[in-house]
Amino acid sequence: MSVCGVAADSVNKPGSTRSSGFTVPARRVLVLTDVEFSVIGGGAGNLITFTLARETSGAINSINSDISATTGVDGAADARLSLRNAIVKSGVTLCVQCFDHSTHGLIEENTCGATIHGFLANDS
């Protein structure tokens, strides 16, 4: 886990394949439009707060206000959020946080995640 949670560095490709190690190319920005958060494996009835953040040299800058969901009997929760074109520059790590209020801690990488929608544009 990175300083701010789970690093969002994988790209979903056609054919249900995924590649890891994604970074925003030099002289480009990633324009974020939507995010779908998910957590699996928590206890039933736990309040989970989801946050998307930028991390640069250990400094954390939240992109969204906290959005929360309560886990169901299966221990899963999800939330969706429109981001209105938030910008992530080259060299910045995009991070996902899933905070479990029952344990007062961040949820591990293998159970916390997000699908982030957006597009690349030239950096002005």
All domains of the chain in start order, with CATH: 6-122 (2.60.120)
Interacting residues of 94 by C-beta distance below 8 A, sequence separation 6+: 7, 8, 9, 30, 52, 53, 54, 55, 88, 116
Looking at residue 1, what is its pLDDT? 46
Looking at residue 23, what is its pLDDT? 86
Looking at residue 2, what is its pLDDT? 52
Looking at residue 9, what is its pLDDT? 76
Looking at residue 3, what is its pLDDT? 58
Backbone angles phi and psi of 99, in degrees to 5: -105, 120
Looking at residue 22, what is its pLDDT? 83
pLDDT in tens, the chain (124 residues): 455 678 887 777 777 777 777 889 999 999 999 999 999 977 899 999 999 988 888 788 888 867 999 999 999 999 999 998 899 999 998 889 899 999 898 888 788 989 889 999 999 8
Looking at residue 71, what is its pLDDT? 94
